Amino acid sequence: MPTSPTAQPAVLPLGAHGLVVIAVDLGADGLPAWVREAAVDRLAEAGLARLTDLGQLPSTPVAGWSAEIGGGRLRLTSPAEVVYDGTLAAWPALKAAAAETGAAIALVGHIDLGWGARVLPAAAAAAERGEVAAGVVPARLTG
């Protein structure tokens, strides 16, 4: 797991163009378990659903959250704060899916997103550990 926050996208094959999934690792590698737990608790308090299985993905939008994708960047905000503001590779299929649905599934927590990580298996492993929260957030393309 990275020591600083990182994000990686995926596109699930649903609908005409797919459904955008954005995984955000909070970058808490090496921190005590109680700090990692508190971070996921804070996400749940902000409206995301704590997951133990990726089959439990929420289907309704989370109030107050948003994702802005563009120019190689992602800005993910909760009702109270910026959760992530950094790089994100956004290829044409991802942009088409975001434009079609206007939404993304945000998976946020302690997800092992090192170089070459497979986003969905890494998120599934984090869910099994109880270290990820998720929600459907409005997604807007910028720049």
Give the H or E element holding residue 123. helix 119-128
Give the residue numbers spanning the domain of 46: 6-141
Q: Which helix (H) or strand (E) holds 77?
A: strand 73-77
Percent of the chain clearing pLDDT 90 (strictly above): 57
Tokens read off for 52: 């133990």
Residue 59 counted as domain residue: yes
List, in sequence order, every residue forming a beta bridge with 9; answer none if it has no partner: 22
> Tokens 């720049």 — which residue?
143
Within a domain: residue 20?
Answer: yes
pTM, entire model: 0.92
pLDDT, tens digit (0-9, with 9 covering 90-100), for 12-56: 887 667 789 999 998 767 778 888 889 999 999 999 999 999 888
Q: Is residue 25 part of a domain?
A: yes
Look at residue 1 and tell me if it is in a domain: no
Is the residue at 97 inside a domain? yes
pLDDT in tens, 69-128: 999 999 999 999 999 999 998 888 888 899 999 999 999 999 988 777 889 999 999 999
| Contact residues for 111 (Cβ-Cβ < 8 A; gap 6+) | 1, 23, 24, 25, 122, 123, 125, 126, 131, 132
The number of domains in the chain is 1
